[in-house]
Structure 1
């Protein structure tokens, strides 16, 4: 299993958790973004820069990932594509995207987008809170521990 990170919009505190986890558990992890960013030096961490453009990083992740991989993203359409390819997604707030829930998440996202397109104020996502960091770290640890037991 590899971890892929949709890194452009991923909060710095979440990337730091991912770095520590990848190095501690020896999991190959690749950040994909269209701008350079800091990463610690580790044989388990890699960076792929893609050109600017809509969904370039998302498309790169879907193309390169394999069934069983974990993708960190807040982008629900990307999470749906990951799940369709046999992977699992996790957003920076710790919600797992699986075959059981990703279609419902995508439907809700599309519904809210339609509302916004008609001029309805939906308020957008809540601000990222310190508790979100803990929820993400705990969910990531639970998921990886479960995967280790299955292997």
Structure 2
């Protein structure tokens, strides 16, 4: 299935040939990723995002605008017709693996072993297994067994 790029017309890329840099240019600040996280967890209205993150209204307004402009959220009129709701686009939903990877990294490196934290569970209530990249044959890979091909 062909994927469409988020709306990025007029973007000034930090490193135009690097997919990591482009991703961070689109969603690399903490507020944007927390908004995406909360949208994945059911937040829809401006007040939902504000209450969950504690973000200042002006910053939230700016980040929601950017996420809509960049094609990661869609703005829709709420059923009441009185406010706007924000819903993930396909590109926004595709950040799920990024959010899970960040969560799991945080579980390993940002908490003491006995410190409590929230847990992401599957439909049966079990925690998700640790994400691990694999090669084309399903074998685990890491920083020592991969390399970047430039100018592709």
Instruction: Give the TM-score taking structure 1 as reference length.
Output: 0.26
Which of the pair is proportionally richer in helix?
Answer: 1
Instruction: Give the TM-score taking structure 2 as reference length.
Output: 0.26
Rg larger in structure: 2
Which of the pair is proportionally richer in strand?
Answer: 1
